Amino acid sequence: MTKDMACFCGSMRRHKKCHPEISTDSLAAKMLSLDSEADTIINSHYSKHNVRPACRKGCSECCSTVFSVSIVEFFLICREMMKFDLKRIALIKQRVLQGISYLNSEHPALLNYFRSDHSDLDYKNMSLKTYELSKGVYIDCPFLAELPNRVRICSIYNVRPLICRISGTSYYTEIEHMYICSHIGANKTIMDCGPSTVDIWSSFIKDILTINHNDTCYRGSVYPLIYWLYLASNDLENLENYLGGERYNKYFQMPYNEAKEKILLRNILS
């Protein structure tokens, strides 16, 4: 793709006018194109049924549940945070530290799980373990902003992670009765008009999160946004530096296959 062609993010703008600092065949470009494909799949399912999804900007009950995102999604969000002023960064940092302190005192098993090395678990088992440990844990996403009319909205809506796009709009095939939220009820409700998460999630796991090497599948880390922010908490005031150098090269510039090997096999190939 040349820089005159449409951008990978689905904006319909030209790449050089939209995301010129992200190479078209990088891991970050792959993630942004998956987000765009997910939005398209979800929208086309609902329009086919002539139904509006219950999920919309400003609906935020699910933003207090625990879910995990990949590092490349976190870095794309950091890129967005580079536009924030220091006051806004300080507020997010304060929420992160308060949230981690709450987990430490009220839900230490969950926090210890994030801290532990669980790289031996495959994606499915790791997700189930996180799901089990997170039952009954409610903690506001640090990006939730409260408007004067008390409506709470996502302050990074355009770059929100994939899980935030599919939760409530796509159904989980193996857990029909899983509770989603008070607007939707159980997961089963979504089956009438939304796509299956499998249609979207399988590409995410294959293209972003895992790599096969010598007949073994290796997985990258996924954590809740609050925990990624905690790990980067000393760098939030200087994100340009944090996202520069080797990180910028690997996630935003390097050809996708090479970057995946360097990131996901770093402990094997070093």
Question: At 146, which helix (H) or strand (E)?
Answer: strand 144-146
Q: Which range touches Zn ion (CB under 5 A), out of 11-19, 74-82, 128-136, 170-178?
A: 11-19
Q: Which range touches Zn ion (CB under 5 A), out of 4-12, 43-51, 95-103, 142-150?
A: 4-12
The residue among 18 and 186 lying less far from Zn ion, judged by its C-beta, is: 18
Q: Could you list the residues that contact ligand SF4 (CB under 6 A)?
A: 54-55, 59, 61-63, 141, 143-144, 154, 156, 160, 164, 167-168, 180-181, 183-184
Binding of residue 11 to Zn ion (CB under 5 A) = yes
CB of residue 21 to Zn ion, shortest distance in Å: 10
Strands 179-181 and 185-186: antiparallel
Tell me, rounded to whole angstroms, the distance of Cα 90 from its chain centroid: 22
Torsional sign, CA 104, 222, 67, 92: positive
Q: Hey, how many other C-beta atoms are within 10 angstroms of the C-beta on 252? A: 21
The residues in 210-249 that bind Zn ion, with binding defined as CB under 5 A, are: none
The residue among 23 and 167 lying less far from ligand SF4, judged by its C-beta, is: 167
- Three-class DSSP category at 136: coil
CB of residue 92 to ligand SF4, shortest distance in Å: 11
The residue among 218 and 224 lying less far from ligand SF4, judged by its C-beta, is: 224
The residue among 22 and 141 lying less far from ligand SF4, judged by its C-beta, is: 141
What is the rounded CA–CA span in Å between residue 206 and residue 199?
12
| The two structure tokens encoding residue 71 | 């590092």
| The two structure tokens encoding residue 83 | 């536009």
81 binds, among ligand SF4, Zn ion, none (CB under 5 to 8 A by kind): none
Closest CA to 158 of 243, 227, 83, 265: 83
Binding site for Zn ion (CB under 5 A): 7, 9, 11, 18-19
